Amino acid sequence: MNKGLPIAPAKGKLGVLLVGLGAVSTTTIAGIMAVRKGIAKPIGSLTQMGTVRLGKRTEGRSPAISEFVPIAGLDDLVFGGWDIFEDDCYEAAVTAGVLEKQQLEQIKGELSAIKPWPAVFDRQYVKRLDGPNVKKGRSKKDLAEQVIDDIRKFKAAHGLDRLVMVWCGSTEVFMTESAAHQSVAAFEKALESSDPSIPSSMIYAYAAIKEGIPYANAAPNLSADIPALLELGQETGSPLAGKDLKTGQTLIKTIIAPGLKARLIGVEGWYSTNILGNRDGEVLDDPESFKTKEESKKSVLDYILQPNLYPDLYQDLCHVVRINYYPPRGDNKEGWDNIDLVGWLGYKMQLKINFLCRDSILAAPIVLDVALFLDLAKRAGLSGIQEWLSFYFKSPMHAPGLYPEHDLFIQLMKLKNTLRYMRGEELITHLGREYYD
């Protein structure tokens, strides 16, 4: 019988460190402040609005997730962050243009108090961006130490008990694992020699993980997803999650594709295109940053449809993903999907999806949930990759040799079963024979 995990209570204050005060992070922070004031609802957040069924369907037990597991309260969150621009969180939120000015005015005081610390930044890794608020250092090791210093000062200044860090910075250029990424020793040596295979996001990830702080990556770049930082996470007890928040078009893709596959409907082609006009769109207009995003978006269908198991249905699938930077749309992205389907006896059909979404409105509840669940994982003694948080990501981190699970509904089941497991409740298999015996 599983007795559950010993979980330390969520006492005291939780510091939420956000790298990058852009559209996603300012919408998250401002949203939490608005919810705290009772002027808005945390729609889309599982930790704030979700429930979890326990026991048999006949028992009628479905507590709120926040009552079932000890999650930090919104009033206990304190925010800090880095950005290459000097704008405080209020100014950055106005620039991002996601939330209405009138709404931001109501929380202006709290938002203006959050001023970004100078960033670790190098244009080599994000070509379409440049800003003045940047640290100088003798080496990448020195920069990592400066980040650790920022974290420690923030912790002391606010009397924080615990911390989490989420990379909400821009998508860095496409990189693959290299020798410097293979062990903690090699990585630390490479930090000292300022090896070009260590981009800025890895320096923040290293600083957090070295301090035993949970770390999540909202963007698709490698960041903590390398053997060296996984090893460090095990050593320091840091839970890790990533990569690339599952919002917008990919969210819809991972809702629709499992349904088509469940009914064994063939897919011959899936053409996805987007227009977006925010800073993220501008960065992704650079082919090297787009390549990182494209890889992240494209892997999803292969894993869900499993062409190796269903060659007649999915082997020749043509999957194309495009992102077009179109300034007039700002953060309000529009995505089109054309799906070419094949049914009974090979007869063809088409499905068209037109999603007029708001990227950061979909992303903010995820950042909140991931921060709170990672803090929970840390208090429950879980470290390394938290596969149960795959639910939130386009390219879920996974153990070597294991394929990632992309089906949103399997991911949700895994997440809720992990919560049941933490509390020593029976896992739900949906077998249900007992109702008919």
Ligand X SMILES: NC(=O)c1ccc[n+]([C@@H]2O[C@H](COP(=O)([O-])OP(=O)(O)OC[C@H]3O[C@@H](n4cnc5c(N)ncnc54)[C@H](O)[C@@H]3O)[C@@H](O)[C@H]2O)c1
User: Residue 395, interface with ligand X (CB under 6 A)?
Assistant: no
Q: How far is the CB of 186 from ligand X (least distance, A)?
A: 22
CB nearer to ligand X: give 249 or 418. 249
Q: How far is the CB of 247 from ligand X (least distance, A)?
A: 4
Round the CA-based radius of gyration of the chain to a whole number and report it: 22
If one asks whether residue 119 binds ligand X (CB under 6 A), the answer comes out as yes
Q: Which of 261, 279, 378, 379 binds ligand X (CB under 6 A)?
A: 279
Residues 289-308 that bind ligand X (CB under 6 A): none
When binding is defined by CB under 6 A, the residue of 107, 180, 219, 275 that contacts ligand X is: 219
Closest distance to ligand X from the beta carbon of 196 (Å): 15
80 touches ligand X by CB under 6 A: no
The phi, psi pair for 178, rounded to 5°, reads -130, 180
d(CA 207, CA 213): 9
Q: Could you tell me which stretch among 116-124, 150-158, 179-187, 338-346 binds ligand X (CB under 6 A)?
A: 116-124
User: Which one, of 169, 154, 227, lies nearest residue 199 by Cα?
Assistant: 169
154 touches ligand X by CB under 6 A: no
- Smallest separation (angstroms) from ligand X to the CB of 129: 6
Query: Which residue in the set 48, 272, 278, 332 belongs to the binding site for ligand X (CB under 6 A)?
Result: 278
150 in contact with ligand X (CB under 6 A) = no
Q: Is 23 in the site for ligand X (CB under 6 A)?
A: yes
Among 223, 254, 274, 360, binds ligand X (CB under 6 A): 360
Query: Count H helices, E strands: the chain?
Result: 16, 11
Q: How is the beta sheet containing 384-385 ordered, strand by strand? A: 117-118, 77-83, 14-19, 162-167, 215-217, 239-241, 384-385
Binding segment for ligand X (CB under 6 A), chosen from 125-133, 234-242, 260-268, 302-310, is 125-133
- Contact (Cβ atoms closer than 8 angstroms) between residue 401 and residue 246: no
Rounded CA gap, 353 and 143, in Å? 45
Report the C-alpha gap between 243 and 395 in whole angstroms. Answer: 5
39-60 b/e (C-beta count within 10 Å ≥ 16 → b): ebebebbbbbebebebeeeeee
Give the contact letters, 87-106, x = binds to ligand X (CB under 6 A), - = no. ---------x----------
Neighbours of 334 (CB within 10 A): 17
- Taking the least distance from each CB to ligand X, the nearer of 26 and 418 is 26
If binding is defined by CB under 6 A, does position 408 make contact with ligand X? no
244 binds ligand X (CB under 6 A): yes
Question: What separation in angstroms does the CA of 283 have from each of 185, 212, 277, 290, 326?
Answer: 33, 31, 10, 8, 12
CB 338 within 8 A of CB 352: yes
Counting contacts by CB under 6 A, is residue 120 touching ligand X?
yes
List the structure tokens of 317: 């699938």
- Binder to ligand X among 170, 274, 332, 418 (CB under 6 A)? 170
Diameter of the chain by CA atoms?
71
The residue range among 76-84, 297-305, 307-315, 413-421 that interacts with ligand X, by the rule CB under 6 A, is 76-84
305 vs 408: CA distance, rounded Å: 13
> Looking at beta carbons, which residue is closest to ligand X?
22
Residues that bind ligand X (CB under 6 A): 19-24, 82-85, 96, 119-121, 126, 129, 131, 168-171, 200, 218-219, 244-245, 247-248, 278-280, 283, 359-360, 362-363
